[in-house]
Structure 1
Amino acid sequence: MSDQQHARPGRRRHLREPRRRGTVWSRGIATAVLQVLLAAALLFHELLPSASGLASLVATGLPWLAVPAVLLLLLGLLRRSATATLAFLLPAAAWAWIFWPRLSEEPVPRDDLTVVQHNVSDENRDISGTVRVLLDAGPDVVVLEEVTPPLVDQYTRAFGDALPHREVRGTVGVWSALPLRDAEKVDLRPDGAGPGWNRGMRVTVLPGEGAPGVTVYAVHLPSTRLAPAGLDVAARNQSIELLAEALAADDSDAVIVAGDLNATLDDPALAPVTALVTEPRHGFGLTFPAAFPMVPIDHVLARGAAVTELRTLDRTGSDHLPVAAAVDLPWS
């Protein structure tokens, strides 16, 4: 046997097992840096610049930042990088610090008032099926968005005697088992919106004999859109400021805000509103899109009363899931 034949197996072993560059600590530095950035985005997303909607974009996908963190962990394991693998602990700890309390705390529902909120979609033709899902929650008050004029009477007939009281302004409306009074439009129009853009209203619900009225705001804030320069949030943010001004000027004993806010509670742009009304943080509350919910943008918030539980309901013909809130009134 020649020397070349003796050398061939060794040469093959060398080809099969290429030498790795660096050590387990020096490999994967770039992956580790990305993990650090993910942890920083989780912990300090409120400090991100609002230009191009960056802060809103990160806040909207905040719980989903766990996905790239896990993918980077797998990459670190494949590269046998101790640095990249250990760096995963940073976003993991940050994610747990933010979301574990929301997942571990069980709500204690107290429901003097049950409020159901739903963006029904103006393309939803299953009115009876939608109403069936909403009524199954046993609501005292139902707040709907995207109720175009041709749909108002259809929903009124479908709710029937269960919710005989109704007030509608523009494309938002309130149907109630309890009497309503003092309904008025709330002007949330951003720049460029015409006089026909009516997506806010205020109405007083009368919960019982001698009890104070509960002011309910039905709102549908402008959508955000991906644009070449980033996430376009200008119109929505203007409407948020207008809503906050209306809430700050409202001296009602109890206020409830229900609607499609097109923003998550983690979004710093919503802070002017969440400084005045609050919502419990139990679970993720994902409502959009209904086919595969990824973001919680449908809300019921309160002041002078407490939303003790917020849960999603079954899917309807809309692209949003409805939510039901248990509201505790302080004087009951």
Structure 2
Amino acid sequence: MNYLKKNNLTVLIVTYSDRRKYLKESLNSLKLFGNCLKNIVLVQNGVDYDLLSFLKKEISLPLKIFHLIINKENTGSSGGFGNGIEEAKSLNGDFLFILDDDNIVPKQSIDNLQELSLKSLERDYDSRIAISFYRPQHDQDPLKFKRNFDFINKSYVKNTIANFSISHKFFKERYFQKRIDPKKAELFFAPYSGLLIEKELLKLVPPVFKDFYLYGDDTRLTSQLSYAGVKIISIECIFTKDLEQSWYQNKTKIEQQKNSIELFLTSENRQKIWRPFYNLRNDVYNSKTLHKKGNFIFYINLFLLISIPFFIYLPKNKNVLKNYRYYLKAIKDGYFGKLGRINEKLFK
């Protein structure tokens, strides 16, 4: 029995600026879903061209299956995906599949997906299931499928601040959970891109939190799903292909990645730290409002997040002195809930 049935899938893609060269490949690859594909929600988040004309000329899918949301200005990931998810929930089709505009799904992955049994997964994990397609080119856990256990779970994230806790340094093994299948990793949070979920499960959590503007809204939504009892599973043989590198990746060697804190503090160009600023600010807000379960450990972790990176990176990079005040502002804004779109003139 196929995982996806006929006319059972809604796909959501958010695009912005002029990314036609990626969007064309991404949309045309959806033909591989065959008769499972019911509709596509395409969010125009302030694009620089006539999207409808582009679809007519360049995309080999029926125009009638598209549901367009036109935003004259870029509403960020939280606005784009938030509105798109609400629109998708109102359409026919039991499943929602979210993609970035530079992702494609190879036929091999779709074939492997269709061989899965949703009932078997729910039985194995004793829970409701969402699948997060593996992204080998972007995944920040290069050892994910080289071990047979997971450790990021409800206990692991308790009292973390931006995914950091002093407990992880001394008691990491207490969080280890052996996998049912080494090739199936269980996640506590996941990116939007590659998330396949039954629409009914989205009723368990609040709508996308739009105050973030950019970054962290996918982490928040999927963390809320995990707290609600949904198991998010990533399977090695079910993956997407990325057509573009992420901002946190080295542009010459894709395997070299930096965490957002390192990028924030060591960047030579002040205008490039707005992405890490959003990322850290929103992570701190998520930590305080979702994961904080007690004061003592949480505030120790907050103090260490403020102080330790300064001493780790300062001896290696003189830019830390210039960027540290922005780092502190991101933490402060996140802690006190000062969210929304930032004034990018701050970084000029």
Q: Which structure has the highest helix share of the two?
A: 2
Short-chain TM bin: under 0.3
TM-score, length basis structure 1: 0.28
TM-score, length basis structure 2: 0.27
Q: Which structure has the highest strand share of the two?
A: 1
Structure of larger gyration radius: 1
